[in-house]
Amino acid sequence: MDARDRILDAKKIVVKVGTTTLTHESGKLNLNRIEKLARVLSDLNNSGKQFILVSSGAIGVGVNRLNLDRADMTLPERQASASVGQAILMKIYQKLFGEYNQTVSQILLTKDIMDNLEGKQNAENTMNTLLELGIIPIVNENDTISTFEIQFGDNDTLSATVASLVDADLLILLSDIDGLFTADPRKDPDAKIISVVEEVTREVESLASGSGSEFGTGGMITKLTAAKICGKEGIDTIIANGEDPSIIYNILDGEEIGTLFLSR
């Protein structure tokens, strides 16, 4: 089956949204965008697709609520912010998905779940049961118990872990950028988008750099790591711009959008 047919057939889909997609530049929630995301995922769920939403944003939203000094925050303050922000995020998700009678749930994970046989099995069972019940699980890192991930971690690789865990058909990484470019377009105005990547080689990796935003972590580097993890598991990955969440319809209709990383 070629990649286009695989995408058209995809049933179990992991969608990751980054901080920059969920918030305005002020750091406050972009309610219009989250509302659209909730509508699109609920509608596609009604059509028979299954979704897991991996959502960042907890730290950014929490910092905003607590009025902390963004430039000078301790690690525990970032953790405290994530704890406050996660609750705010879930309240909004409950409300907006609720408008479409779509039940959502919360799952907080750390990537080392893959190293714990029992924990991995429990997470897999829970997620697959939620999907069978028609629920959209909303996943984030558990920033309270893992400080490593706040400093170096990111939800890109977490979303690849989740996709592997549930044996997803497709991973969609929605970001503030159209896809992988030949260089960071914020720094190089001549950078061109790459529409298909057959393999994440060192040469491909050398095109990517870190995040341009204040609360995002990882940038393009960790998106490539995610694509690499999924590729090995036979899962295709697409990076696309989350500015208008209805792009998910276009992606699932097989349109050439963003950057498609082919699985092996």
Ligand X SMILES: N[C@@H](CCC(=O)OP(=O)(O)O)C(=O)O
Residue least distant from ligand ADP (Cβ) = 18
Q: Which is nearer to ligand X, 43 or 214 (CB)?
A: 214
**Dist CA 228 CA 61 (whole Å):** 30
Q: Pairing between strand 50-55 and 236-241?
A: unpaired
3-state secondary structure of 222: helix
Task: Quickly count: other Cβ atoms within 10 Å of residue 23's Cβ.
Answer: 24
- 58 binds ligand X per the rule CB under 6 A: yes
Binding partner of residue 244 among ligand X, ligand ADP, none, CB cut-off 5 to 8 Å per kind = none
- 140 binds ligand X per the rule CB under 6 A: yes
Known binding positions for substrate: 56, 143, 155
3-state secondary structure of 6: helix
Q: Which residues of the chain form contacts with ligand ADP (CB under 6 A)?
A: 18-21, 175-177, 180-181, 183-186, 207-209, 211-213, 216, 218-220
**Dist CA 48 CA 199 (whole Å):** 31
Helices of type H across the chain:
3-9, 19-22, 31-46, 58-66, 75-98, 117-132, 147-151, 155-165, 202-205, 219-232, 247-252
Q: Which is nearer to ligand X, 216 or 258 (CB)?
A: 216
Q: Which is nearer to ligand ADP, 54 or 131 (CB)?
A: 54
Q: Which is nearer to ligand X, 143 or 169 (CB)?
A: 143
Known binding positions: 16, 56, 143, 155, 175-176, 217-223
Out of 29, 45, 57, 93, which residue is the one contacting ligand X (CB under 6 A)?
A: 57
- 217 binds ligand X per the rule CB under 6 A: yes
**Dist CA 152 CA 20 (whole Å):** 17
Q: Which stretch binds ligand X (CB under 6 A): 137-145, 160-168, 198-206, 249-257?
A: 137-145
In degrees, rounded to 5, the angle at the alpha carbon of residue 240 between the alpha carbons of residues 140 and 99 is: 55
3-state secondary structure of 79: helix
Binding partner of residue 57 among ligand X, ligand ADP, none, CB cut-off 5 to 8 Å per kind = ligand X
Q: Which is nearer to ligand X, 128 or 146 (CB)?
A: 146
Binding partner of residue 137 among ligand X, ligand ADP, none, CB cut-off 5 to 8 Å per kind = none
Out of 34, 41, 59, 135, which residue is the one contacting ligand X (CB under 6 A)?
A: 59
Strand partners of residue 54: 16, 139
